[in-house]
């Protein structure tokens, strides 16, 4: 495999890196503290085409490839991890099922406004009692007089409080497990659709994580994505590819932690010398850099398989990339705090935020345990 980036990918990386350095990074700590949604970041990313990066130009997308997408999410997350997940959940989880399974009318009317960042999207499969067990959904949808009527609650929904469009699973036939689920699109403002509890989180504090509540919410019959009964497979299709976005987010957080730790190690003096002259510190830096490079190669490889459309391959490689990058990010941010010592534990420096932000990447879009399950299932099928 050729890991050389194209001219276009290098240009995109430089653009995103500059934006992250000049616009996202200086505001990230403040957004983390206030838990305010970073609208200004999203607006700029919309102008650059990042809010619809892999979708065709006919729907106002940027028509780029998945390696470009991974590069963009890594660079954005290096500046602000909350913005990284906003971009990832929007692109991978909301736009993808609309693009692959929505009607032409939905794509023209709705996808075209999501790709520009004018609208933000969210994806809801998780429920209070259906997390890793995605088929354990209890929200229902019933067809009555030519309308789907939705009832139930989704929770832990990234972008939930700011989304103009939600795509969710609901049971359309009870008692047959995953085959009884269907996938629906709901627009904000539809009577019976509201945002519930807003979560107060450990990290990625500027991203909106909420409940979505459906109370006799009527939507047009055409708002089903795919066919009735296809909901679970659409959710799996979406997550299979979406995980590369979270892997790239974890990678960006780790790279930011290494950048800070390296600079601090050179400047901090103890025992009359810069701490970077001590082997104990050098070994930590060396391990951090090596693990980051390994994760980056896995992320590029997974994104490359997504470009080929080879589902079985990318399902396994996206899970591997997410598993390794998220656990790597945990180890790297842990070491970054260690290098900063007491200062690393205080909010004055950014590494404690990186540590908090990295933690969720081992949980959302499938826990590390679920990634291992997906990888093992694929290995046993090969």
Give contact residues for ligand CAA (rule: CB under 6 A): 85, 89, 93, 123, 125-126, 132-135, 158, 178, 232-233, 236-237, 239-240, 315, 364-366, 370, 373-374
**Which CB atom, from 41 or from 237, has the smaller least distance to ligand CAA?**
237
- Shortest distance in whole angstroms from residue 246 CB to ligand CAA: 7
57 is catalytic: no
Is the Cβ–Cβ distance between 143 and 185 less than 8 Å?
A: no
Cβ-based neighbours of 39, under 8 Å, separated by 6 or more: none
Q: Which of 260, 348, 365, 369 is catalytic?
A: 365
Rounded to the nearest whole angstrom, what is the least distance from the CB of residue 84 to ligand CAA in the complex? 11
Closest alpha carbon to 182 in 224, 218, 217, 132: 224
How far apart are the C-alpha atoms of 98 and 107, rounded to whole Å? Answer: 7
Among residues 338 and 378, whose Cβ is nearest to ligand CAA? 378
Task: State the nearest-atom distance from the C-beta of 38 to ligand CAA, in Å.
Answer: 16
- Closest to ligand CAA by CB, 157 vs 292, is 157
Nearest approach, Cβ of residue 366 and ligand CAA (Å): 3
Q: What sign does the dihedral 107-159-42-355 (CA atoms) show? A: negative
Tokens of 377: 């299932």
Q: Which residue has the tokens 């075209």?
A: 112
Distance CA 364, CA 283 (A): 31
What does DSSP say about strands 181-187 and 165-171: parallel, antiparallel, or unpaired?
A: antiparallel
73, 248 in Cβ contact below 8 A?
yes
Residue 144 CB, shortest distance to ligand CAA, in Å, is 28
Write down the least CB distance from residue 194 to ligand CAA, Å. Answer: 19
For ligand CAA, the closer of residues 87 and 265 by Cβ is 87
Asked if 342 and 186 touch (Cβ cutoff 8 Å), the reply is: no
Closest to ligand CAA by CB, 102 or 124: 124
Question: CA-to-CA distance for 240 and 319, rounded, in angstroms?
Answer: 7
Active-site residue set = 365
């Amino acid at each position: 495999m050729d890991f050389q980036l194209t001219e276009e990918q290098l240009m995109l990386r430089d653009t995103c890196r500059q934006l992250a350095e000049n616009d996202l990074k200086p505001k990230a700590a403040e957004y983390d503290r206030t838990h305010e949604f970073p609208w200004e970041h999203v607006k700029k990313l919309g102008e650059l085409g990042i809010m619809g990066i892999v979708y065709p130009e006919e729907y106002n997308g940027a028509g780029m490839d998945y390696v470009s997408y991974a590069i963009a999410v890594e660079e954005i997350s290096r500046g602000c991890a909350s913005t990284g997940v906003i971009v990832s959940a929007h692109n991978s989880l909301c736009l993808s099922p609309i693009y692959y399974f929505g009607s032409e009318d939905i794509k023209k009317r709705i996808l075209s406004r999501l790709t520009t960042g004018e609208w933000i999207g969210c994806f809801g499969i998780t429920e209070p009692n259906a997390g890793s067990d995605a088929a354990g959904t209890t929200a229902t949808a019933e067809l009555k007089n030519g309308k789907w009527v939705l009832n139930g609650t989704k929770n832990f929904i990234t972008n939930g409080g700011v989304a103009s469009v939600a795509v969710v699973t609901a049971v359309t036939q009870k008692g047959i497990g995953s085959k009884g689920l269907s996938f629906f699109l709901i627009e904000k403002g539809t009577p019976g659709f509201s945002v519930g509890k807003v979560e107060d989180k450990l990290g990625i504090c500027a991203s909106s994580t909420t409940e979505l509540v459906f109370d006799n919410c009527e939507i047009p019959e055409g708002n089903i994505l795919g066919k009735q009964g296809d909901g679970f497979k659409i959710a799996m299709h979406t997550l299979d590819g979406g995980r590369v976005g979270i892997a790239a987010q974890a990678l960006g957080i780790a790279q930011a932690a290494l950048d800070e730790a390296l600079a601090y190690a050179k400047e901090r003096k103890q025992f009359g010398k810069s701490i970077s002259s001590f082997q104990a510190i050098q070994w930590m830096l060396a391990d951090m850099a090596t693990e980051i490079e390994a994760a980056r190669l896995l992320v590029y490889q997974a994104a490359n398989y997504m470009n080929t459309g080879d589902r079985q391959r990318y399902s396994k490689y996206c899970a591997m990339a997410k598993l390794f990058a998220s656990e790597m990010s945990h180890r790297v941010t842990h070491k970054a705090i260690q290098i900063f010592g007491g200062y690393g534990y205080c909010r004055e420096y950014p590494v404690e935020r990186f540590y908090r932000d990295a933690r969720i990447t081992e949980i959302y879009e499938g826990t590390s345990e679920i990634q291992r399950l997906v990888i093992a299932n694929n290995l046993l099928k090969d």
